[in-house]
């Protein structure tokens, strides 16, 4: 349970409670209900849009799809013509709680497969049945890019899968990943909006990306896209993947760059007059409540910069920031989505990688300080592990060596999970049913 002593146990309790408060703040069911009532900034038009619709069809997709669909059903049930709910396969255990009258489709994440193709086809088919004057309501959350995969003809799903896997291994940012995905897809980059024909479209969006970029959240199925085929080619070349990409992918992108293939939906397209995209919650929503919870627990709150960049670098930088924090009891909070450039064959996630990098930095510069921290994903899933994230302190690296691990080697091999598991320093929550990227909480002088 980390450094010995009751003080550390109390600090661990505080970290867990602050994390739980942050996750509760982005409960998708509550946020959708508030948006349908017009009680969220930017959602003022939503009640009128819904009231004016003679019939409503709905799609909920992503890690928060079940909660979003529950609120849609509760508020609009009798008016729903049809609804599909597309969820990650691990959410299958929650299907007993699925909204009444909805069709549940499980699909793959983070690497799409045939189930993702079937889910995308079902979404396009439902959208295509929404007639002029009707409303297509989309509940969109993180994970949708993988859960709905519909390759642009003549690409095959295997082409996208191999390229997506290579991009993930390369440490590409979510922004760069989605630039490529949008230009190889028939549903992303406004593709679902095109499929909706003459229907009005309302997208209620739980954001898991920086600056709430609509084109990046779920790869923007109902949003305009500023990026181009040339940009997608640039991403692959910068990541050293262009020469290794499937020939069909290179041909598709080159034809698009030369104008032979239609671009994604761009600003000014008449289609955009029929859509209202509303962000109902994001990482800042979670962090603001985390800060309130920390203040209620008696901590002075320090909101650090956003967490974007390599997990190793962010872990070290946050460790240095905590070490430089003086005065009384302080809670540092931050949020975002680190990336990991995979160089080893170990097991872990970006939150655990950042926590281990921080642990080594704290051992080096703040060995005797009272510091304990938590890196965790708000979705409860950190990489291909069963943990949401990990706790760390200035003594984590020392305790790891005592347990037979070499923390520096584990960091280089991207093998943080076994180390934190052996120390009892993992945070395990199970899937939370929401997703607004990652949060960091650090306590100083606890």
Q: What is the pLDDT of residues 25-73, one digit of tens each?
A: 999 999 999 999 999 999 999 999 999 999 999 999 999 999 999 999 9
Across the range 402-413, mean pLDDT stands at: 98
- How far apart CA 223 and CA 143 sit, in angstroms, is 16
323 is a domain residue: yes
Neighbours of 347 (CB within 10 A): 17
Report pLDDT for 98: 54
Residue of higher predicted confidence among 359 and 2: 359
Beta strands in 240-336 (DSSP E): 275-281, 300-303, 330-336
Q: Residue 130 belongs to what domain range?
A: 27-150+185-227+264-280
User: Do 309 and 200 fall into the same domain?
Assistant: no
Q: 58: domain CATH number?
A: 3.40.50.10180
Across the range 201-217, mean pLDDT stands at: 95
Report pLDDT for 3: 42
pLDDT(261) > 80: yes
Residue 106 makes CB contacts below 8 A (sequence gap 6+) with: 86, 87, 88, 89, 91, 92, 115
Report pLDDT for 96: 45
Across the range 291-307, mean pLDDT stands at: 96
User: Do 18 and 34 fall into the same domain?
Assistant: no
CB 373 within 8 A of CB 443: yes
Report pLDDT for 128: 96
Across the range 134-148, mean pLDDT stands at: 96
Strand order, beta sheet including 389-392? 300-303, 330-336, 438-444, 371-377, 389-392, 426-427
Number of domains, the chain: 2
- Report cis status (omega within 30 of 0) of the bond before 133: no
Report pLDDT for 4: 43
Question: Residue 245 — φ and ψ, nearest 5°?
Answer: -70, 150
- The predicted-structure confidence for 362-391, as pLDDT tens digits, reads as follows 999 999 999 999 999 999 999 999 999 999
250 is a domain residue: no
pLDDT(1) > 50: no
Q: 330: domain CATH number?
A: 3.40.1480.10
Give the model's confidence band at 197: pLDDT under 50 very low, under 70 low, under 90 confident, else very high.
confident
Q: Which range, of 2-6, 27-31, 48-52, 185-189, averages the lowest pLDDT?
A: 2-6
Report pLDDT for 107: 96
163 is a domain residue: no
254 is a domain residue: no
pLDDT(100) > 80: no
User: Do 293 and 412 fall into the same domain?
Assistant: yes
Report pLDDT for 8: 84
DSSP for 18-73? HHHHHHHHT-HHHHHHHHHTT-STT-TTHHHHHHH-SSEEEEEESTTHHHHHHHHH
pLDDT(108) > 90: yes
* pTM for this prediction: 0.92
391 is a domain residue: yes
Give the model's confidence band at 101: pLDDT under 50 very low, under 70 low, under 90 confident, else very high.
low
Residue of higher predicted confidence among 394 and 91: 394
User: Do 269 and 401 fall into the same domain?
Assistant: no
SS3 263: coil
User: Do 189 and 323 fall into the same domain?
Assistant: no
Report pLDDT for 76: 95
Give the model's confidence band at 84: pLDDT under 50 very low, under 70 low, under 90 confident, else very high.
very high
User: Do 288 and 434 fall into the same domain?
Assistant: yes
Across the range 178-182, mean pLDDT stands at: 93
381 is a domain residue: yes
Neighbours of 365 (CB within 10 A): 15
Across the range 167-175, mean pLDDT stands at: 86
User: Do 308 and 406 fall into the same domain?
Assistant: yes
- How far apart CA 86 and CA 152 sit, in angstroms, is 20
User: Do 435 and 295 fall into the same domain?
Assistant: yes
pLDDT(354) > 70: yes
Give the model's confidence band at 326: pLDDT under 50 very low, under 70 low, under 90 confident, else very high.
confident
Residues composing the chain: 446
CB 135 within 8 A of CB 276: no
User: Do 197 and 210 fall into the same domain?
Assistant: yes
175 is a domain residue: no
255 is a domain residue: no
Report pLDDT for 217: 95
SS3 110: coil
User: Do 14 and 72 fall into the same domain?
Assistant: no
User: Do 394 and 438 fall into the same domain?
Assistant: yes
Give the model's confidence band at 169: pLDDT under 50 very low, under 70 low, under 90 confident, else very high.
confident
Report pLDDT for 7: 67
User: Do 15 and 101 fall into the same domain?
Assistant: no
Residue 303 makes CB contacts below 8 A (sequence gap 6+) with: 287, 291, 332, 333, 334
Across the chain, mean pLDDT equals 94
């Amino acid at each position: 349970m980390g450094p010995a002593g009751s003080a550390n146990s109390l600090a661990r309790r505080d970290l867990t409670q602050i994390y739980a408060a942050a996750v509760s703040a982005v409960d998708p069911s509550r946020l959708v209900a508030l948006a349908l009532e017009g009680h969220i900034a930017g959602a003022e038009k939503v009640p009128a849009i819904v009231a004016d619709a003679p019939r409503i069809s709905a799609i909920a997709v992503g890690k928060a799809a079940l909660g979003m669909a529950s609120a849609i059903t509760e508020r609009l049930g009798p008016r729903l013509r049809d609804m599909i709910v597309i969820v990650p396969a691990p959410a299958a255990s929650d299907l007993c709680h699925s909204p009444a009258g909805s069709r549940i489709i499980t699909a793959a994440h983070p690497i799409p497969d045939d189930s993702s193709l079937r889910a995308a086809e079902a979404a396009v088919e439902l959208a295509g049945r929404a007639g002029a004057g009707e409303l297509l309501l989309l509940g969109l959350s993180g994970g949708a890019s993988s859960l709905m995969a519909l390759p642009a003809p003549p690409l095959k799903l295997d082409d996208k899968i191999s390229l997506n896997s290579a991009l993930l291994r390369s440490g590409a940012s979510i922004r760069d990943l989605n630039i490529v995905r949008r230009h190889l897809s028939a549903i992303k980059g406004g593709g679902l909006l095109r499929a909706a024909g003459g229907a009005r479209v309302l997208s209620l969006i739980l954001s898991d990306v920086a600056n709430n970029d609509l084109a990046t959240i779920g790869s923007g199925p109902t949003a305009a896209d500023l990026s181009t085929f040339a940009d997608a080619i640039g991403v692959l070349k910068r990541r050293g993947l262009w020469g290794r990409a499937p020939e069909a992918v290179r041909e598709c992108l080159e034809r698009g760059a030369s104008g032979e293939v239609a671009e994604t939906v761009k600003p000014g397209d008449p289609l955009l007059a029929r859509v209202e995209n509303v962000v109902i919650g994001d990482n800042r929503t979670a962090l603001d409540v985390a800060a309130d919870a920390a203040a209620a627990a008696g901590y002075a709150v320090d909101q650090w910069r956003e967490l974007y960049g390599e997990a190793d670098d962010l872990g070290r930088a946050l460790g240095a920031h905590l070490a430089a924090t003086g005065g009384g009891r302080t809670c540092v909070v931050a949020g975002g989505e680190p990336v990991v450039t995979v160089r080893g064959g170990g097991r872990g996630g970006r939150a655990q990688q950042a926590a281990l990098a921080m642990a080594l930095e704290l051992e080096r510069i703040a060995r005797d300080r009272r510091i304990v921290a938590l890196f965790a994903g708000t979705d409860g899933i950190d990489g291909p592990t069963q943990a949401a994230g990990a706790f760390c302190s200035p003594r984590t690296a020392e305790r790891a060596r005592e347990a037979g691990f070499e923390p520096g080697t584990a960091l280089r091999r991207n093998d943080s999970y076994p180390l934190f598991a052996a120390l009892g320093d993992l945070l395990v929550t199970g899937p939370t049913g929401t997703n607004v990227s990652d949060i960091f909480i650090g306590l100083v002088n606890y």
